[in-house]
């Protein structure tokens, strides 16, 4: 049985060599006492080289071997070389398994240094450029797949598309109708406060209907769809990425964009314009409530003035805008889902990013349409 104690001594020979003799056992249980004792013996020794004789060591574990390495590193900092001699084979085997750089390597911890404003701006700009590159790359692939689907309609999973049409369209009718009704009511009421000062209450229906059909109807519908369905698309595909289902589709020979994204995009294209018309209708109904009960307008007068203000061109451009916004919302949601690389936290980040990016692009596209239609 190996001894549980460790005895340390030091001696000098006639040649002036200093040797540290270690006997017994060096284990996890006694290294707290062994290391201070060795340091005490070597405290006054200022020699270029010290020998450590290990011939009498009965047992050593990994903690004891690391103690010898630590002692070697500490003496090296004092420009003293520690040379191990007479190492038994069983101890030499343990020593060879240890990483000598383990005690001098810095632990892998996050860099907590403060980042300057200029560096933060640069990092944000680079991330933004990478994000734009990813969106453009996925957008090009998505457009190619849409063109392919138009020429090969049987390649589209129409069953899934119908399911997504229900989720995006039918399930979204209550919230779209409620928000649009309240929006129409607010616009009619606030505009009437100014117009009735000039006896121009008759123009409230025209203002409301034109504003909803040309601008607010498509943009409000797109915002609601982005919050409901765009985020859902990102979460669904992101979860599939985490569960390696997308990788399984690729291995089986399926194109993930064609298999997963195209049904969602076609569903959005077909229902978002209908939701926009639905939103326009409910907004006008909300304005009708104000017109009849607060402005002394008849239902016939309100409807007639609304129809008179809306042209076919306004309705067509509104539908075109709705289709473009539908492609953007579904495309961004799918693209953010495909970007997921980590776990549940990354799925949440992708969902949030899908909504934020969709809202940004909705405003940008609406601004472009407003400028272009001003010259048509």
Kindly state the average pLDDT of the residues 47-54. 78
Q: Among 14-23, 107-116, 184-193, 203-212, which is the least confidently predicted range?
A: 107-116
- d(CA 157, CA 263) in angstroms, rounded, equals 6
pLDDT at 45: 64
Kindly state the average pLDDT of the residues 306-325. 93
Does the pLDDT value for residue 62 go beyond 80? no
Third-level CATH fold of 6-97 = Transcription Regulator spoIIAA (3.30.750)
103-112 per-position pLDDT tens digit: 555 554 555 5
Q: How confident is the model at residue 244 (pLDDT cuts 50, 70, 90)?
A: confident
Q: Could you give the count of Cα atoms lying within 13 Å of 311 in the half-sphere of its Cβ?
A: 3
Query: Which residue, among 233, 224, 308, has the nearest Cα to 264 in the 3D structure?
Result: 233
pLDDT at 1: 44
Contact 344, 241 (CB under 8 A): no
Q: Where are the domains of the chain?
A: 6-97, 143-374
Secondary structure, 3-state, the chain: CCCCCEEEEEEECCCCCEEEEEEEEECCCCHHHHHHHHHHHHCCCCCCEEEEEEEEEEEECHHHHHHHHHHHHHHHHCCCEEEEECCCHHHHHHHHHCCCCCCCCCCCCCCCCCCCHHHHHHHHHHHHHHHHHHHHHHHHHHHHHHHHHHHCHHHCCHHHHHHHHHHHHHCCHHHHHHHHHHHHHHHHHHHHHHHHHHCCHHHHHHHHHHHHHHHHHHHHHHHHHHHHHHHHHHHHHHHHHHCCHHHHHHHCCCCHHHHHHHHHHHHHHHHHHHHHHHHHHHHHHHHHHHHHHHCCCCHHHHHHHHHHHCCHHHHHHHHHHHHHHHHHHHHHHHHHHHCCCCCHHHHHHHHHHHHHHHHHHHHHHHHHHHHHHHCC
226-239 per-position pLDDT tens digit: 999 999 999 999 99
Q: Among 68-82, 109-123, 157-171, 195-209, which is the least confidently predicted range?
A: 109-123
pLDDT at 102: 59
- d(CA 64, CA 34) in angstroms, rounded, equals 9
Does the pLDDT value for residue 95 go beyond 80? no
First to last CA, the chain: 98
Residue of 192 and 36 predicted with greater confidence: 192
Does the pLDDT value for residue 84 go beyond 90? no
Kindly state the average pLDDT of the residues 343-361. 90
The overall average pLDDT reported for the chain is: 86
């Amino acid at each position: 049985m190996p001894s549980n104690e460790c005895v340390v001594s030091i001696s000098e020979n006639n040649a002036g060599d200093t040797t540290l003799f270690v006997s017994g056992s060096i284990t996890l249980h006694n290294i707290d006492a062994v290391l201070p004792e060795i340091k005490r013996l070597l405290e006054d020794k200022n020699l270029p080289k010290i020998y450590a004789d290990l011939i009498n060591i009965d047992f050593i574990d990994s903690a004891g071997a690391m103690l010898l390495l630590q002692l070697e590193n500490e003496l090296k900092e004092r420009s003293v070389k520690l040379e191990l001699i007479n190492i038994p084979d069983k101890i030499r085997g343990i020593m060879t398994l240890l990483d000598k750089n383990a005690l001098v390597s810095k632990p892998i911890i996050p860099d907590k240094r403060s980042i300057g404003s200029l560096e933060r701006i640069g990092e944000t700009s680079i991330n933004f450029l990478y994000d734009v590159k990813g969106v453009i790359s996925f957008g090009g692939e998505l457009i190619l797949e849409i063109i392919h689907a138009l020429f090969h309609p049987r390649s589209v999973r129409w069953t899934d598309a119908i399911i997504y049409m229900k989720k995006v369209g039918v399930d979204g009718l209550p919230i779209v109708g409620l928000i649009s009704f309240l929006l129409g009511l607010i616009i009619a009421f606030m505009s009437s406060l100014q117009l009735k000062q000039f006896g121009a209450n008759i123009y409230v229906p025209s203002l409301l209907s034109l504003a909803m059909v040309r601008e607010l109807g498509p943009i409000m519908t797109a915002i609601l769809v982005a919050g409901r369905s765009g985020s859902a698309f990102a979460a669904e595909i992101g979860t599939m990425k985490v569960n390696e289902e997308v990788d399984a589709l690729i291995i089986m020979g399926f194109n993930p964009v064609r298999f997963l994204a195209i049904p969602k995009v076609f569903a959005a294209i077909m229902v978002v314009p209908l939701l926009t018309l639905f939103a326009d209708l409910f907004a006008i109904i909300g304005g009708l409530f104000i017109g009849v009960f607060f402005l002394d307008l008849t239902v016939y007068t309100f409807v007639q003035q609304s129809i008179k203000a809306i042209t076919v061109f306004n309705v067509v451009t509104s539908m075109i805008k709705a289709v473009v916004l539908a492609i953007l919302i579904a495309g961004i949601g799918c693209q953010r889902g495909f970007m997921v690389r980590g776990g549940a936290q990354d799925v949440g980040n992708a969902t949030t990013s899908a909504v934020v990016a969709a809202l940004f692009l909705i405003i940008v596209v609406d601004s472009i349409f407003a400028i272009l239609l001003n010259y048509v």
